[in-house]
Every structure is written in C-alpha cells, then in structure tokens.
C-alpha cells in the first residue's frame, strides 16, 4: 500500500514537470515566432530594431588587479607615512639601532654640522 501511494505521488510530480516543460517550450516557441525566409533583409531590419530597442546595462570599467602600480600615483606615498623627500637637518632626533662589533639602541640628535656621534665609530654625517 505504501509503495503504491509513493508511486502515485512520484508519477504526479513527473507529470507536472513534463507539463511544465511543454508549457515553457510552447511559450518560447511563441515568443520567437516564425521567420520569413523569403525576405531575409526584412528579418535583418527587425533584428536590428530589436537590438537597438533593448536596453543595455551600463558596464563599469574594471581594471586589472595591480593596475594602479603602473600609473605612478603612489611614488611619494609610503605605508609608514614617512616622506621620502625629507632632508635631515640639525636638531632632528634619530633612533639608532646598531649591532655587531658595536651595539647601541639610543635616540641621537643631529648636531649643527649635520653629524651624529656613534660610540666606537665616531661622527657620521647624516644631515643634508
């Protein structure tokens, strides 16, 4: 009994799907319509009119990934916010980290001559 009711349900669903597909195909056939093959230029004119009357979606121009790198717009901008055109001048403070033969991690001030003093090395010109 259970199998018979399941079969009826399945056959009803398949019949609905088949009828639905037939209805869709008949609608598609009606919307396309027959072509007049005796006068192909008339069909071409109708096609051109339909194409012109069809609204086209506006497409935004999508640029390839990384295209901004080739425009040169970011030449003076850095991620860390530092200005690459900055000129070190007297009174500026520089965080100096040195390791190796001499080790140092201090904030040093640029003197009036544009130098900083590194212990074990001597004066180093950084200004200008």
Answer yes or no: are the C-beta atoms of 101 and 119 closer than 8 Å.
Answer: no
Q: What's the pLDDT tens digit per position in 78-90?
A: 567 777 788 999 9
Considering just the CA atoms, what is the radius of gyration of the chain in Å?
40
- The pLDDT of residue 42: 62
The two three-digit tokens of residue 98, written as one number:
């040195």
Q: What's the pLDDT tens digit per position in 21-65?
A: 544 444 444 455 566 566 666 666 677 777 777 777 777 778 888
- Which has the closest alpha carbon to 71: 63, 79, 61? 63
3-state secondary structure the chain: CHHHHHHHHHHHHHHHHHHHHHHHHHHHHHHHCCCCCCCHHHHHHHHHHHHHHCCCCCCCCCCCCCHHHHCCCCCCCCCCCCCCCCCCCCCCEEEEEECCCCCEEEEEECCCCCEEEECCCEEEECCC
The two three-digit tokens of residue 8, written as one number:
């009826």
CA–CA dist 100, 121 (Å, integer):
12
Where is mean pLDDT largest: 8-12, 62-66, 71-75?
62-66
């Amino acid at each position: 009994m259970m199998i018979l009711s399941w079969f009826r349900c399945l056959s009803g669903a398949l019949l609905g799907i088949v009828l639905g597909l037939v209805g869709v195909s008949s609608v598609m056939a009606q919307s396309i319509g027959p072509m007049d093959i005796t006068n192909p230029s008339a069909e071409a004119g109708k096609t051109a009119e339909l194409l012109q009357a069809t609204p086209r979606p506006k497409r935004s121009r999508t640029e390839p990934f990384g295209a901004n790198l080739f425009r040169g717009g970011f030449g003076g901008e850095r991620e860390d916010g530092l200005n690459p055109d900055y000129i070190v001048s007297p009174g500026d403070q520089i965080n100096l980290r040195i390791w190796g033969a001499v080790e140092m991690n201090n904030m040093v001030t640029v003197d009036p001559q544009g130098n900083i003093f590194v212990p074990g090395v001597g004066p180093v010109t950084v200004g200008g």
